[in-house]
Amino acid sequence: MSPSLSFSHHARERSVDRNVSEDEVRFIIQYGLRERQAGFIVYQLLRKSFPAHLPGSSPYRRLELTKVVLCKCGRFVITVVRAREVVQRDLKKFYARQPQRHCPCCTQDLQLLMQ
């Protein structure tokens, strides 16, 4: 997990809407299953992902199946999605319309490549 993790305005809004704190987002990134979807890094917290020392009554247990979507460099949170919401289709649409332009790190990398 990157210590310099930053959040887009959209990610902050979605976190508030979905009642997921910044600490909980970091928990998902630390313990969640990592996969790549449509050029993004997606962490999903599965039941088997929870650490063994976490008690069954922990408030983190409510985060099961929650997804955190990061840009391709992994330093910028794009959105937070609950289990029942569709992720992959929406990511493909997002990626086609605005490829990584929200992440200052990825944008900078892209600009260096284009020079």
Q: What is the pLDDT of residues 32-82, one digit of tens each?
A: 999 988 778 999 998 898 989 989 889 999 998 899 989 888 888 888 888
**Tokens (6 digits) for 48:** 């088997």
Please state the pTM of the whole predicted model: 0.76
For the chain, the 3-state helix, strand and coil shares in percent, each to the nearest 5, are 40, 20, 40
Say if residue 31's pLDDT is above 90.
Answer: yes
Say if residue 14's pLDDT is above 70.
Answer: yes
HSE on the CB side for 85, CA within 13 Å?
A: 14
Strands 67-70 and 40-44: antiparallel
Kindly provide the residue ranges of all beta strands, DSSP E only, lying in the chain, ordered along the sequence.
6-7, 33-37, 40-44, 67-70, 76-81
**Which pLDDT band, with edges at 50, 70 and 90, does 90 fall under?**
low
Helix (H, G, I), strand (E, B) or coil at 38: coil
